[in-house]
Structure 1
Amino acid sequence: MEITLTTPALLFPALSLLLLAFTNRFLGLATLIRSLKDRYASYPNQQVYGQIENLRERLLLIRNMQIFGSLSMFGCVLCMFLLFADYTEAGKYVFAFSLIMMLISLALAIREIQISVKALELELNDLQGTAEK
């Protein structure tokens, strides 16, 4: 396979957008955690506690999504440096590493979305229970 200096550069826009999306998810989650903490402090109940546990898991996933996304970006930059220094074989392996890191990051994002849906289901169940009373 022929790899040039522009090959890893093709991932930069995708990685930048992914990292931005992950950061936005993190910021939204931080706001939600703070509001749920206040809500739980004033009115402790099992539904809010379930949400807090759900958020803890999501927070860890988002952290790992950002780490693997950053490793992918780091690998792309390192790959470009290696290709620039004419270490083509090493550049190929580093580029493969970058792709694997990106795949892991995306897999974690899929898992985080699944957990996010569970959190919304908790809210809907609470809303439905309140409406039926």
Structure 2
Amino acid sequence: MEELTLTTPALLFSAISLIMLAYTNRFLAYAAVIRNLSEKYRERPQDSLIRQIDNLKLRLNLTRWMQIFGISSLLLCVLTMFLIYINQHVVAVWIFGTALILLILSLAFLIREIQISAQALQHHLSDMEESLKK
């Protein structure tokens, strides 16, 4: 087995940073959509808006967990580097492995969130098709 060096966890910094930027952009987009839906709902409550709100609540929750797992992964990468620095290599390997698992979980939540987003768009397309048929 090859020894873990400082550069190995450091390689994940840029990847995790880019992922976190994408997650933050998703979060900000949801915030804007939720504010818009809130105004529409106050003006005229509709069942379709309630479905959209429920969908957005689920997606927002998934995005929150994506961020938590991503940030935790980054934190453990930093801890790994510190442990390597103080010559605690065995512990560093386990912590780095945990960081990788957290990153995998973050990406798995992203896959699920994308599936839900695609389903939501399909519902919008179906609604438009139905109104065009009328």
Q: TM-score scaled by structure 2?
A: 0.96
1:40 aligns with 2:51: no
CA distance in 2, matches of 1:80, 1:132: 61
Q: How far apart, in 2, do the equivalents of 1:115 and 1:12 lie?
A: 28
Give the equivalent residue in structure 2 for 1:88. 89
Worse-superposed segment, 33-42 or 86-95: 33-42
Q: Is the 8 A contact 1:76 1:98 kept in 2?
A: yes
Is contact 1:47–1:122 with CA below 8 Å preserved after alignment? no
Shift of 1:123: 1.1
The alignment covers a number of residue pairs equal to 133
Paired residues of 1:78 and 1:94 also in contact (CA < 8 A)? yes
- How big is the shift at 1:101? 0.3
After superposition, residues 49-88 of structure 1 pair within 5 angstroms as 49-88=50-89
2:32 equivalent in structure 1: 31
Give the secondary-structure state (helix, strand or coil) at the position aligned to 2:52.
helix
Counterpart CA distance in 2 for 1:32 and 1:124 is 17
Hey, what's the Cα distance between the residues in 2 that align with 1:67 and 1:77? 15
RMSD of aligned Cα (Å)? 0.8
Q: CA deviation at 1:43?
A: 1.9
- Deviations along 1:45-94, one digit per CA (max 9) or x if unpaired, are 11111111000000100000000000000000000000001101010001
Quote the residue 1:15 is aligned against.
Answer: 16
Q: Runs of 5+ in structure 1 lacking a partner? A: none
Kindly state the Cα deviation for residue 39 of structure 1 after the two structures are TM-superposed: 1.2
| TM-score computed with the length of structure 1 as normaliser | 0.97
Please give the secondary structure, in 2, of the residue aligned with 1:10: helix
